[in-house]
Amino acid sequence: MSQGTEKLSRRERRRLEQEQQQRITDVDTGRPVDRDTRDGRDERLDRGELDWRGVRAEEAQDGEITEKASILLRDRSRRLLGSLLSPYAKYLWVLVAAIVAENIARLSSPWLVSRGIDLGVPPLMQGGSARMLIETVLLMVVAVTIQATSRIFFLRVSGRIGQAVLLELRKRVFRHFQRLDVKFHDRYTSGRAVSRLTSDMDAIAELMAGGFDGLITAVLTLIGVSIMLMVLDWRLGLICLLSLVFVGMLARWFSRASSRTWRKVREASAMVIVQFVESMTGIKAVQSYRRQPRNQEIFTDLSHRFRQINIKTFHLFAIFQPGIQAIGNITIAVILVVGGLYVMDGSMTVGVLAAFLLYLRQFFQPMQEIGQFYNTFQSAISALEKLSGVLEEQPEVKEATDPVPLPKARGDVTFDHVDFSYVEDVPVLPDLDLHIPAGQTVALVGTTGAGKTTIAKLISRFYDPTAGRVLLDGVDLRDLSDDDLRRAVVMVTQENFMFDGSVADNIGFGRPEASRDEIIAAASAVGAHAFISALPQGYDTDVAKRGGRLSAGQRQLVAFARAFLADPAVLILDEATSSLDIPSERLVQQALQTILADRTAVIIAHRLSTVEIADRVLVLEHGQVLEDGPPAQLMDTSGGRYAALHEAWVKSLA
Amino acid sequence: MSSASGSDTTSSAPNHTVRLYGDALDRPPLIDPRRTSTRRNPAASLMRLTPYLKPYAVVFFSMLGLALVAVLLSILTPLITRRIIDGPVVEGDKEWLFALGAVALVIGLGESMLNFIRRWTMGPAMLGMETGIRLDMYAKLQRLPMSFHSRWQSGQLLSRIMSDLSTIRRFSAFGLTFMIVNTVQIIVVTILLINMYWPLGVVVLLSVIPVVWLCLANERVYTKLSRRIQDETGDVASSVEESIQGLRVVKAFGRVDHVFNRFTKRAQSLHDTSIERVRNVSKFWTFLEVIPTLTMIIVLAIGAVAAAQERLTLGTLVAFITLMLSLIWPIAALGFLLSMAQDAMTAADRICEMFDAEETIVGGDVVLDDPKGALRFENVAFQFHDADRPVLHDLNLDIRPGETIALVGGTGSGKSTLTALVPRLADVTAGRITLDGVDIRDLDLVALRRMVATAFEDPTLFSMSVRENLTLGRPDATEDEIAEAIEVAQAGFVHDLPWGLDTRIGEQGMSLSGGQRQRLALARAVLVRPAVLVLDDTLSALDIHTEALVEEALKRVLVGVTGIVVAHRASTVLLADRVAMLEDGTITHVGTHHDLLATVPEYRELLSADFDAEEVLDGMSPSERELAEMEGSLR
């Protein structure tokens, strides 16, 4: 009975672990794993959803994942798992030794008890010596000690390895997401990236935390018992092995069905996460536009889908696990009858049959254990599929393999016959040639979509040119290390993202090693000091989530101070002052005169007052430079665009 | 895939669940109210979630019963085996052999069947419970005010609604059942043991003391660890969310290492706490396994002495110890089960924290049938809960129905805060705001927000079709109305998107430029046809050419609508009938633009002429706007 209960509970424990995997998931809205093996988007493309969610290019083609692709995916994730575990291979034998020791010690207890009763008590009853009994008791104490220490040892070492692997994987994937280029992130979207790094990680955490001890014990027991069975009676042994064929068939079915289902669980859970993150990020708009009921409806639908697909995994396992048990129980009944017949015809003794039946129980129990583990493994593997897919993505904007060192850039920027397009055949910059000498302040002027922002993004290497080169101090940006490039070039946009933390932290983001005095100096330089000082805790005021505490103008000033503190050789300002009121903007412009004096600057602005401080103005249209020269000179070019601009401005001032 | 498969998926959700939780938004959460005791109690938190178990109570308890029966059956099978060997096999009775073999087969299959039924029903039922809590949580979060959301890191919310909930589900689907089954088993076996030979039975009973002591002693330590791990998991999630959403800034500043280090610090601390938990449970689980074994040694020793003194027979001792062996696993498993229970309790505690957050902004029951839009600020003040000075104070302003007021003030003077007060995204901390003479706090919240539409300075677009984004505030808008709103906001570029109004935009769709997003946000606000239209610096990202067109159109829209327009530029101010100037959190001047310009130097300072280059350039080549938009839309 003790054995039965033990196995039942252990089995259930495995079950638990496997269930935990289910909280993970992911949806693939973009190009998740692999260009050719996208799957599972079908359920999202139903009509009801189409109505509100709208259409998006990548979703046009879709289909079930092919068997071959599936194998490919699994291989890739197994390789990843292997590479994560390989540093710890040397511990494997220590762990196995600990498990073996623990099991021997555990199993010796009942044997020692019976020894104590059989050999220790009778002498005592006859008034003899208690030596035998004391000896047995001492042996049991030793056995318990061994059992306890080896178990603690095993749990700690395997736990440590599991946690180390997890930390390594977290760091690897996080780092990789940061390395991947903007283009990738445009496509992948934040909700999915978040679900990769949270719920997918949890699935793997479960595999790592899941008692490997149970698995090792199970495998060892299975091997040992199989040998015992064959030795005891080869005919009955063969019947057992025959039952393995059915177990194998069941496992094969389960393997296929569950890997498909686990994949869908990941996707369904990512859908839930994406919807959750999006509605929490946009809660202000949700509440003021009374979107809550519709959101609730959508979330209810996604949660039910998540639940439905989870139920499917439960059901698959509800067939698999009792299925193994049923095969085992049928085999036991068959062996009982066949063995009984053998005993009757005298080809087998009763003792052997009894022993065989006892061992037979232990033959099927480890299989259930392995089944549990397999389910957990399947779930973790499908999470690993997603993660290995991310890790396999290579940034199109690659880090230089053999970077040219540029410790102190002067800030000389050159566009050498640069072509660029976001989508094929729609050129944004056709063959741009441009040289900005170090220290020059250049203003880009032009209609919406003239390519101003694109030029800014190319200098800060968010994208690489389709053809041609962008050079900094004569070095192709592609040959610069990321550190050197980012030290030299900083871009401030309208985005003004605020990180969790204080105002000082957010300014300090420009140069993390900056002192408080330097931070205050930077804030003062851009005219942000006054409002920051007026905040409840001054520079230490928490900006609240995403800077919710600050107005758009204030966020812009903080972002400006941040850029100033970074002290780059090339500063790019893309509409960085659009939310400022006029006096603040004026202050910023005054500050700019000094800030930009000794560095290269590219300024994109609507307002000519900002343009005026430039050394040079480029009038752009369709990615082409129409006019190029110092503002004063362009002003005098009769019939020129800038001249017309300036004239209009002067008029508006009057 | 075809549309058919999708509708199947939707309808396949069991109806009763939809009925039960589809209304989550319109009722308070099912969770039991918080007890009056001030100290948080994780166990009580878990109990508070039981209403969600209620629909599955029958399943839950019958499956509990099945689990007990299955344990019995697993005891029965070896007994049958013994009967067969001792009976027909030894006696050579083939018929009996076949009969008993059949019985063994039936019992064996019965065991698997029970197992199957339990797994088939229990997990799904508990998933139903989990889904119920999840939906109620989401509804609660949607109702909680902005002040809550700005305080809470989104990763913490995410980890609660995903990880914590599945922790609870796992415990209730499996842990709880076996905690009960094991406890019953322990009690029954202990009673049997006491019956068999009470002195040894008492020894076994006494061994419960160290077990209970160990569990209690460990509880405090483990609860803290468990809570810390859950909190740190949330921190890691927050780090992840932030680093992903702020990725472009991180890249622009080359701060990948900085962000990575921050993440690593959190991940490392989660790792360290996890290791601490590994150390803790490795001891706890092992000791729980050792105690029954040690008890057995003591029983053996005492039993041997007792047998020697002939107080009990050897047979009884054997039976006693055999029975005792069956106690080892249930007790050892308690360690694992208790850890799960603790995890579930702390998770429940974290979830209850969210449910207990006060919904400070709730609507009244007044509904204005025909709102005129008379908006009045009476001695209004607003102060952040942690600030020592108010952002707004002694603010008085009377806006007549149909009048448009421009709100002018320096960066950080409180303009945006003021606009947030009208749709009650935040509540005044003193004074009151009335709409048609009714305090807005007495108005039905949905009705109020239907009357007040705001176009925000940082427009939020959702990952949905353009149409859905536009009709956010009025889902029943007709095509003509949509077209008109697009026209007003100069958002005609949407027609050029690949699938027109059906194109998905937002984060998971096509990204738009700042100006395009602002125009959509404006169209969205206009489409609501509100009594009060609030434009919070909605035109800042527009070039002046477009802005001029928008302003022209807005003038039409604002007729008969009460308007509040936050403005930085003179051109926007001209939309308004009067201007209110906000300085240091209060309104210092109200008047027409020209009056203020003439009499208030600070106002002149704020609104002196500015100029936009795009305006003129756009004026030069209006025909090329289309192409320009294209770049924007592809960006």
Q: How confident is the model at residue B445 (pLDDT cuts 50, 70, 90)?
A: very high
B111: region left, alpha or beta (phi > 0 left; psi from -120 to 50 alpha): alpha
Residue A399 forms part of a structural domain: no
SS3 A573: strand
Q: How confident is the model at residue B507 (pLDDT cuts 50, 70, 90)?
A: low
Structure tokens at A501: 């933390």
Mean pLDDT for the stretch of residues B101-120: 88
Phi, psi of A434 (to 5 degrees): -155, 135
| Residue A385 and residue A423 share a domain | no
Tally of CB atoms within 10 A around B490: 23
CB-based contact (8 Å) between B315 and chain A?
A: no
Mean pLDDT for the stretch of residues A557-577: 88
| Residue A342 and residue A282 share a domain | yes
**B614 has a pLDDT exceeding 60:** no
List b or e across B259-289, with b for residues whose CB sees 16 or more CB atoms inside 10 angstroms: bbebbbebbbebbebbbebbbbbbbbbbbbb
Question: Distance between CA atoms of B565 and B584, rounded to whole angstroms?
Answer: 18
Q: Which of A21-30, A362-371, B131-140, B555-564 has the highest mean pLDDT?
A: B131-140
pLDDT, position A651: 64
Asked which of A466-480, B507-521, B529-543 is least confident by mean pLDDT, the reply is B507-521
Residue A401 forms part of a structural domain: no
Q: How confident is the model at residue A211 (pLDDT cuts 50, 70, 90)?
A: low
Question: Distance between CA atoms of B575 and B554, rounded to whole angstroms?
Answer: 8
Residue A131 forms part of a structural domain: yes
Residue A343 forms part of a structural domain: yes
Architecture of domain B19-356: Up-down Bundle (1.20)
The better pLDDT of the pair A43, B588 is held by B588
* pLDDT tens track for A132-174: 888 888 998 999 999 999 999 999 999 999 999 999 999 999 9
Residue A201 forms part of a structural domain: yes
Asked which of A182-186, A606-610, B13-17 is least confident by mean pLDDT, the reply is B13-17
DSSP state of A475: E
| Residue A349 and residue A268 share a domain | yes
Give residue A632's domain range.
413-653
Distance from CA of residue A401 to its chain's centroid? Answer: 25
Helices (H), B161-255: 165-170, 176-196, 198-245, 247-252
Mean pLDDT for the stretch of residues B79-98: 75
Asked which of B85-94, B99-108, B525-534 is least confident by mean pLDDT, the reply is B85-94
Distance from CA of residue B197 to its chain's centroid? Answer: 55
- Residue at B492: amino acid letter: G
Q: How confident is the model at residue B168 (pLDDT cuts 50, 70, 90)?
A: very high
pLDDT, position A504: 93
pLDDT, position A584: 79
The better pLDDT of the pair A272, B73 is held by A272
pLDDT, position B326: 78
Residue ranges of chain B assigned to CATH 1.20.1560.10: 19-356
What is the nearest CA distance from B119 to chain A, expressed in angstroms?
5
B559, HSE (Cβ side, Cα atoms, 13 Å)? 4
Q: How confident is the model at residue A65 (pLDDT cuts 50, 70, 90)?
A: low
SS3 B14: coil
The better pLDDT of the pair B29, A67 is held by B29
Mean pLDDT for the stretch of residues A31-47: 34
DSSP secondary structure letters along B420-467: HHTTTSS--SEEEEEETTEEGGGB-HHHHHHHEEEE-SS----SSBHH
Question: Distance between CA atoms of A292 and B445, rounded to whole angstroms?
Answer: 12
Structure tokens at B562: 């009460």
Contacting A residues, span 126-155, partner chain B, CB-CB under 8 Å: 127, 130, 133, 136-137, 140-141, 144, 147-148, 151-152, 155
Residues contacting residue B367 through CB under 8 Å, at least 6 positions apart: B443, B444, B447
Give the mutation candidate from B239, B240, B289, B309 for the A interface (greatest A CB count, under 10 A): B240
Residues contacting residue B109 through CB under 8 Å, at least 6 positions apart: A326, A329, A330
Question: Distance between CA atoms of B608 and B570, rounded to whole angstroms?
Answer: 7
**B10 has a pLDDT exceeding 50:** no
Look at B466 and A54 and tell me if their CB atoms are within 8 Å. yes
| Residue A92 and residue A26 share a domain | yes
Q: How far is CA B51 from CA B28, B62, B90, B171, in A?
A: 13, 18, 57, 16
Share above pLDDT 70 across residues of chain A, in percent, rounded to a whole number: 88
A649 exposure class (CB count in 10 Å sphere: 0-12, 13-18, 19+)? buried
The better pLDDT of the pair A116, A5 is held by A116
Structure tokens at B80: 């049958």
Question: Distance between CA atoms of B403 and B373, rounded to whole angstroms?
Answer: 9
Q: How confident is the model at residue A206 (pLDDT cuts 50, 70, 90)?
A: confident
Look at B283 and A152 and tell me if their CB atoms are within 8 Å. yes
Among the partner-chain residues A62, A293, A305, the one whose CB lies closest to the CB of B9 is A305
Q: Which helix (H) or strand (E) holds A420?
A: strand A413-421
Look at B340 and A16 and tell me if their CB atoms are within 8 Å. yes
The mean pLDDT value of chain B amounts to 84
**B12 has a pLDDT exceeding 50:** no
CB-based contact (8 Å) between B325 and chain A?
A: yes
Among the partner-chain residues A16, A282, A284, the one whose CB lies closest to the CB of B174 is A16
SS3 B363: coil
Which ipTM was obtained for this model? 0.87
pLDDT, position B98: 86
Question: Distance between CA atoms of B217 and B335, rounded to whole angstroms?
Answer: 13
Residue ranges of chain B assigned to CATH 3.40.50.300: 375-634
pLDDT, position A55: 61
The CATH number that applies at residue A547 is 3.40.50.300
Sign for the pseudo-dihedral over CA of B371, B373, B379, B380: positive
**B482 has a pLDDT exceeding 80:** yes
The fourth-level CATH superfamily of domain B375-634 is P-loop containing nucleotide triphosphate hydrolases (3.40.50.300)
Q: How far is CA B327 from CA B330, B336, B526, in A?
A: 6, 15, 72
Look at B253 and A152 and tell me if their CB atoms are within 8 Å. no
Q: How confident is the model at residue B43 (pLDDT cuts 50, 70, 90)?
A: confident
Sign for the pseudo-dihedral over CA of A302, B48, A11, B123: negative
List b or e across B162-174, with b for residues whose CB sees 16 or more CB atoms inside 10 angstroms: bbbbbbbbbbbbb
Q: How confident is the model at residue A441 (pLDDT cuts 50, 70, 90)?
A: very high
Mean pLDDT for the stretch of residues A438-456: 84
Asked which of A21-25, A547-551, B245-249, B521-525 is least confident by mean pLDDT, the reply is A21-25
- The number of domains in chain A is 2
Share above pLDDT 90 across residues of chain A, in percent, rounded to a whole number: 28
Contacting A residues, span 387-446, partner chain B, CB-CB under 8 Å: 422-423, 426, 428, 445-446
Question: Distance between CA atoms of A386 and A21, rounded to whole angstroms?
Answer: 14
Q: How confident is the model at residue B503 (pLDDT cuts 50, 70, 90)?
A: confident
Distance from CA of residue B312 to its chain's centroid? Answer: 62
Mean pLDDT for the stretch of residues A191-206: 90
pTM of the model: 0.85
Residue A476 forms part of a structural domain: yes
Look at B244 and A423 and tell me if their CB atoms are within 8 Å. no
pLDDT, position A549: 79
Question: Distance between CA atoms of B565 and B575, rounded to whole angstroms?
Answer: 8
**B7 has a pLDDT exceeding 70:** no
| Residue A497 and residue A367 share a domain | no
Contacting B residues, span 191-220, partner chain A, CB-CB under 8 Å: none
**A107 has a pLDDT exceeding 90:** no
CB-based contact (8 Å) between B549 and chain A?
A: no
- Residue at A270: amino acid letter: A
Task: Please check whether residue A551 is in contact with residue B415, taking contact to mean a CB–CB distance below 8 angstroms.
Answer: yes
Residue A406 forms part of a structural domain: no
The better pLDDT of the pair B183, B92 is held by B183
A145, closest residue in chain B (CA to CA): B290
SS3 A279: helix
Which residue in B527, B578, B574 sits closest to B551, CA to CA? B574
A102, closest residue in chain B (CA to CA): B286
pLDDT, position A44: 39
Asked which of A213-217, A337-341, B75-79 is least confident by mean pLDDT, the reply is B75-79
Q: Which of A312-316, A500-504, B172-176 has the highest mean pLDDT?
A: A312-316
pLDDT, position B268: 96
**B382 has a pLDDT exceeding 90:** yes
**A22 has a pLDDT exceeding 80:** no
Contacting B residues, span 36-55, partner chain A, CB-CB under 8 Å: none
**B175 has a pLDDT exceeding 70:** yes
Look at A167 and B174 and tell me if their CB atoms are within 8 Å. no
pLDDT, position B494: 87
Pairing mode of beta strands A570-574, A489-492:
parallel
Question: Distance between CA atoms of A16 and A23, rounded to whole angstroms?
Answer: 12
Question: Distance between CA atoms of B329 and A10, rounded to whole angstroms?
Answer: 9
Residue A213 forms part of a structural domain: yes
The mean pLDDT value of chain A amounts to 82
| Residue A497 and residue A353 share a domain | no
A390 exposure class (CB count in 10 Å sphere: 0-12, 13-18, 19+)? buried
Share above pLDDT 70 across residues of chain B, in percent, rounded to a whole number: 90
Mean pLDDT for the stretch of residues B292-298: 88
* pLDDT tens track for A371-423: 888 888 889 989 999 899 889 888 888 888 888 988 888 999 999 999 998 77
A397, closest residue in chain B (CA to CA): B251
**B513 has a pLDDT exceeding 50:** yes
Task: Please check whether residue A426 is in contact with residue A452, taking contact to mean a CB–CB distance below 8 angstroms.
Answer: no
Last residue of a domain, one of A360, A392, A424: A392
Last residue of a domain, one of A392, A421, A440: A392
Phi, psi of B381 (to 5 degrees): -135, 150
The CATH number that applies at residue A87 is 1.20.1560.10
| Residue A417 and residue A305 share a domain | no
Question: Distance between CA atoms of B474 and B486, rounded to whole angstroms?
Answer: 14
Which residue in A2, A1, A4 sits closest to A328, CA to CA? A4
Task: Please check whether residue B592 is in contact with residue B586, taking contact to mean a CB–CB distance below 8 angstroms.
Answer: no
| Rounded-to-5 percentages of helix, strand, coil across chain A | 65, 10, 25
Alpha-carbon torsion angle A293, A295, A297, A300, nearest 10: -130
Which residue in A461, A254, A486 sits closest to A377, CA to CA? A254
pLDDT, position A543: 85
Question: Distance between CA atoms of B515 and A178, rounded to whole angstroms?
Answer: 28
Question: Distance between CA atoms of A281 and B328, rounded to whole angstroms?
Answer: 51
